[in-house]
Structure 1
């Protein structure tokens, strides 16, 4: 049975004056995937994700979400998408609850019960009446994730979602992602430079290096041939004639 294609990335190219960017990226993401976009800092992960969410226009190519073009039909393309790109932003002088109430202003179906539910799911319900100005980076990430899943999105795009989390937080968020994918059919597109966490979280992995996609493979198949995802990453980089400069 063929899985439904929910994201199509076609010939995506964006070049910056400093020489960085992405070059001719092609990628299909399917319903229920937990896709890991793996690469070192500066590889082009955030650039690609900014284009995917309409924050940056590509020089060439397009992204289609549920068949709608992000460049030509932005509102339709993003209607079922939740995301965090780079930093989970919040209003520092509003409470956690008030921040999510603001995030829900275009989603009439989101009520107090749903807000409390996502705060519970992300492990910060006890801070519902506290202000993010006092939050640690990890707690701000949890609040950002609560906002990203607030309106029951079908696709969640997360740029370095485990940034700033302690070990317990990483496990909590990993379990939440897996649960939503399995039980609700939510599709996740996750970027990270943390190889071990990608290995434990994602079922398909795309390696990006110097702005180019090197390979896309299932985690299961990778671990049949390599002891760890790190070994696979280094092998892919070397096989493509580049010297790895990688810090986990």
Structure 2
């Protein structure tokens, strides 16, 4: 599914969180949305997921405006927010069943989907445990399972690896990439942790609400004559800061 962000700007009162941001994402793979805290990543996710209404510009899913066709947009999206929204006192399976009901799925329709996602996320053995008994990595897998129950074509993960240890971060990242390959999901992975990005990943870089670069990670490193993506991002951010000074 194609995703195009076109001239999107957004303000909170006097604070401009996004300034004429435009880019197109690559379908069927992990697209990295990079930037330090306050860059505008979470605001963009909130606009994509319709938590916020667009103020200026548009976002197109397969050419359809989410402004004019919000129901179509929401049917295509699964979202994992930075802050967990799981009910800690429900079991894994109960959390999924409750979410399926919110999407209007009957118990009969939901049951095979829940079973399939539990298997896909390697959670079958944990399905009757309360969520509060799970570690951070497994809780994230529950959230991904929940986000995929209505069979979206786009998965948004907003800083999904924050708070996880190094091994859990790597395992989650690898797992999401496997989902892209298996289901041809288009994933938007927002992060400020640049070691989670592979050389061939398409990258969108934000700084202070502005788009500073977009392209394949390795190509951005080459263009900046940098040693790695961290150095490339530092240079691009510095250039953006000078341009707005």
TM-score w.r.t. the length of structure 1 is 0.86
Residue 235 of structure 1: how far off its partner (Å): 1.4
1:1-248 matched pairs, under 5 angstroms: 6-17=2-13, 19-105=15-101, 106-107=104-105, 111-197=110-196, 199-200=197-198, 203-224=201-222, 225-242=225-242
C-alpha distance 193-39 of structure 1, shift in aligned 2 (>3 A): same
Whole-Å separation in 1 of the counterparts to 2:239 and 2:148? 38
Separation in structure 2 between the aligned mates of residue 156 and residue 33 of structure 1, nearest angstrom: 10
Q: CA deviation at 1:133?
A: 3.2
After superposing on structure 2, the runs of 4+ consecutive aligned residues of structure 1 that deviate more than 4 Å are: none
Aligned residues: 238
Q: 2:157–2:190: 8 Å Cα contact kept in structure 1? A: yes
Unaligned runs of 5+ in 2: none
8 A contact 1:86–1:160 mirrored in 2: yes
CA distance in 2, matches of 1:179, 1:189: 14
Once the two structures are superposed, residues 70-123 of structure 1 have per-residue CA deviations (whole angstroms, 9 ceiling, x without a partner) of: 222111112121111232311222211011111222245854343233234334
CA RMSD after TM alignment: 2.3
SS of 1:240's equivalent in the other structure is helix
Work out whether residues 122 and 172 of structure 1, in 8 Å CA contact, stay in contact via their aligned partners in 2.
no
Distance of 1:12 and 1:45 partners within structure 2: 12
TM-score under structure 2 length normalisation: 0.87
Native 8 Å contact 2:137 2:169 kept in 1: no
Which structure carries more helix by proportion?
2
Question: Does structure 2 conserve the Cα–Cα contact (< 8 Å) formed by 1:67 and 1:77?
Answer: no
- Shift of the 232–195 alpha-carbon distance from structure 1 to 2, 3 Å rule, reads same
The offset of 1:18, in angstroms, is: 5.3
